[in-house]
């Protein structure tokens, strides 16, 4: 069966520090991968998605970036965090267009 792993679960970082969140999927190949953010009390906002190694599409201009160095690995990064980057970051994958997402357990990021 397929599983998705995301870490760390919780992160407190100072403003201006770098960020790296990692997500891996097991039990499938060539998944579509996604990074979402959910601000406190808000809906889910799509940040990036990837349909293959090295292919990244950005939905929202910001100081975040994503990379997909391996088929089942998706990384979210920032060189310098802002206070507004605080939120609940969720990695997700899906089999295909007609399937729902499976989310990782999320990373709760607080920028102080």
Partner 1 sequence: RKEVEQDPGPFNVPEGATVAFNCTYSNSASQSFFWYRQDCRKEPKLLMSVYSSGNEDGRFTAQLNRASQYISLLIRDSKLSDSATYLCVVRTSYDKVIFGPGTSLSVIP
Residue 31 or 104 having the CB closest to partner 1: 104
State the residue for tokens 């690995």: 73
Nearer residue to partner 1 within complex by CB, 43 or 61: 43
Least spacing, CB of residue 108 vs partner 1, in Å: 7
- Where along the sequence are the contacts to partner 1 (CB under 8 A)? 42-44, 46, 88, 90, 97-98, 100-106, 108
Q: Which residues contact 78 (CB under 8 A, 6 or more apart)?
A: 18, 19, 63, 64, 65, 85
C-beta closer to partner 1: residue 6 or 78:
6
Residue reference for tokens 């403003």: 15
77 within 8 A of 18, measured Cβ to Cβ: yes
CB of 90 to partner 1, least distance (A): 6
- Are 36 and 42 spatial neighbours (Cβ–Cβ below 8 Å)? no
Smallest gap from residue 57 Cβ to partner 1 (A)? 11
- By beta-carbon proximity to partner 1, the closer residue of 9 and 15 is 9
* Nearest in space to 23 (alpha carbons), one of 76, 100, 87: 76
């Amino acid at each position: 069966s397929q599983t998705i792993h995301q870490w760390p679960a919780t992160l407190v970082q100072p403003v201006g520090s770098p960020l790296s969140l990692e997500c891996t999927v097991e039990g499938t190949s060539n998944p579509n991968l996604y990074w979402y953010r959910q601000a406190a009390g808000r809906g889910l906002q799509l940040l990036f998605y990837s349909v293959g190694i090295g292919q990244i599409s950005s939905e929202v201009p910001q100081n975040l970036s994503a990379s997909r160095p391996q088929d089942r690995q998706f990384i979210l990064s920032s060189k310098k965090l802002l206070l507004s980057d605080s939120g609940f970051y969720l990695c997700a994958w899906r089999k295909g267009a007609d399937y729902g997402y499976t989310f990782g357990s999320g990373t709760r990021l607080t920028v102080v």
